Amino acid sequence: MTTIGDTDLDVSGLCLGTNVFGWTADAEQSFALLDAYAEAGGNFLDSADSYMAGAEGNSGGESETIIGDWMAARGNRDRMVVATKVGNLPGRRGLSPTNLTAAVDDSLRRLRTDRIDLYYAHTDDTDTPQEDYLAAFDGLVRAGKVRALGASNFDADRLRSALEISGRDGLARFEAVQPHYNLVERGYEEDQALLVQKEGLSCFPYFGLAKGFLTGKYRPGSDGRVDSGATEGAMGWARAGGAKAYLDERGVRVLGVLDEVAAAHDVPVASVALAWLSAQPTVVAPIASARTLDQLAQILPSTGLALAPDELAGLSRASESR
């Protein structure tokens, strides 16, 4: 267990993404996944009020509703650390104080709880002054509705200014970031990592498996017609196409090293990719999701997998652009 930023929230080393809940995983499947994850020692769930709006008639909030129903059924709310996000729900976009006040109550209702442990701004909102939305987030913390705040999809400059404003005005600050970061998407290292480390924030990367590419199931010659429920919740062939975009010389090189390390440890390739991510500075827990118990079994070993320095270095070298 590791704490989130400067908080007392202890989280497990793998955050279970729940973007597939209520979509490609129905309530029964989702309950089974949550049970298995919790039984394996996991306690950290990542959702959003927008999951999965627009998917097969969904209006948003389906993931939060399933999580809330599961926690109520299992009586384990106090054991779980629940993260959700605000700002991307169709019809309720942005971070205006009015929107935040209404959205948090809706998420609390769906989650069947009196507090959200980690509440992210899903994306930055340049149409609302940062002072305004940071003050509104602070109000949610002071009201006890939110325990800690996070920033998802912020660039370094906007994250820096948010932290400066919070410090200047005595407001609750962002304690966590959620960037797009994985073995083949390493822009975070140059854009935000130094700032995150300096400020003592915690990083929880999404797309930790590069849209399924780092599970190892996309290989030269494959047509992408594989199980669309990749371990981080693939969106059919569209995501398969996104994963296959990594299948260039560099991607093949990365897969080769992943295969070698996975064979040496007798673990799935996906777990090696997540273990590499977990070992990077500032990363507390990568986020990955699963549609089936078999997919969950591919990622759970990452939490107990300690890669040797030469293995970490080999993976890093293989993924460098050159």
> Catalytic amino acids?
51
Q: Going by C-beta distance under 8 Å and a sequence separation of 6 or more, which residues neighbour residue 125?
A: 87, 94, 95, 96, 133
Asked if residues 81 and 115 have their Cβ atoms less than 8 Å apart, the reply is: no
Asked if residues 46 and 81 have their Cβ atoms less than 8 Å apart, the reply is: no
51 vs 22: CA distance, rounded Å: 8
Place of tokens 């005005």: 169
Q: Going by C-beta distance under 8 Å and a sequence separation of 6 or more, which residues neighbour residue 269?
A: 214, 215, 216, 255, 258, 259, 262, 298
Q: Which of 158, 167, 53 is nearest to 95 (CA)?
A: 158
Whole-angstrom CA distances from 54 to 23, 88, 99, 228, 238 are 10, 12, 20, 18, 15
Residue 168: other Cβ atoms inside 10 A: 9
Strand partners, 206: 180
